[in-house]
């Protein structure tokens, strides 16, 4: 959690505004994503709107939570109400869920800033992200290599520092493997009772 805590402290100390921080990440995405292909959908307007809400709270002297105002990303198989969620398959192009996955519902209520949805193997069936309809996600340390999969986009984004952290999904290594490829931390929970609640963190606590 060290990267998240560092950003939280920057926001609460006034070192940077949430809008300035979010704009920095969006600019880095604009500069880097053409080569990395980590993001398949950048939600800039929603991210900046949430950033402004956080800045208003800080301006009024209100406390913010640890995750509030911290930019992040979600694997494109995690449902986001009214935001296109394709599972990186052509068949779901244009699909906008009518509900949030539980993990995003909780993060949204905590005030997280969603930068966008990240690349993955189509329907999470793969271990390289190369089966994505949008093309594979590149490794941030060598773009001639893959980022791993199936959560390759989020691992690539975090490894390239175009997101401080993100959520993926994992049943047989789909977070742990791309995290190891991209030099980031990718822990996985050991039990799931409801598929709508699934989502595991990839973060930049330690760099290889």
Q: Which residues contact 92 (CB under 8 A, 6 or more apart)?
A: 85, 86
174 in active site: yes
Identify the active-site residue in 32, 128, 156, 174.
Answer: 174
Identify the active-site residue in 79, 150, 151, 169.
Answer: 150
Extract the tokens encoding 57: 């709270």
Identify the active-site residue in 75, 89, 117, 127.
Answer: 75
> SS3 of 139, please?
strand
Distance CA 59, CA 62 (A): 8
Nearest Cα to 87, choosing from 114, 116, 124? 124
Nearest Cα to 45, choosing from 134, 111, 116, 119? 116
What is the DSSP secondary structure assignment for residue 142, as one 8-state letter? E
Q: Whose structure tokens read 């995290």?
A: 179
150 in active site: yes
Active site residues: 75, 150, 174
């Amino acid at each position: 959690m060290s990267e998240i805590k560092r950003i939280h402290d920057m926001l609460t100390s006034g070192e940077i505004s949430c809008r300035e921080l979010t704009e920095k990440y969006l600019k880095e995405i604009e500069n880097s994503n053409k080569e990395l292909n980590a993001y398949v959908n950048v939600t800039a307007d929603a991210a900046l709107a949430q950033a402004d809400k956080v800045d208003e709270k800080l301006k009024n002297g209100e406390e913010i939570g640890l995750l509030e105002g911290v930019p992040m990303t979600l694997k494109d198989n995690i449902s986001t109400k009214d935001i296109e969620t394709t599972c990186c398959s052509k068949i779901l192009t244009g699909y906008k869920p009518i509900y949030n996955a539980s993990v995003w519902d909780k993060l949204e209520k905590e005030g997280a800033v969603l930068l966008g949805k990240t690349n993955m193997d189509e329907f999470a069936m793969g271990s390289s992200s190369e089966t994505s309809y949008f093309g594979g996600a590149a490794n941030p340390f060598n773009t001639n290599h893959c980022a791993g999969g199936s959560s390759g986009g989020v691992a690539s984004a975090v490894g390239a520092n175009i997101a401080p952290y993100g959520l993926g999904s994992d049943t047989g290594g789909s977070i742990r493997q791309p995290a190891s490829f991209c030099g980031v931390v990718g822990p996985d929970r050991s039990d799931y009772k409801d598929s709508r609640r699934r989502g595991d963190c990839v973060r930049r606590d330690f760099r290889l």
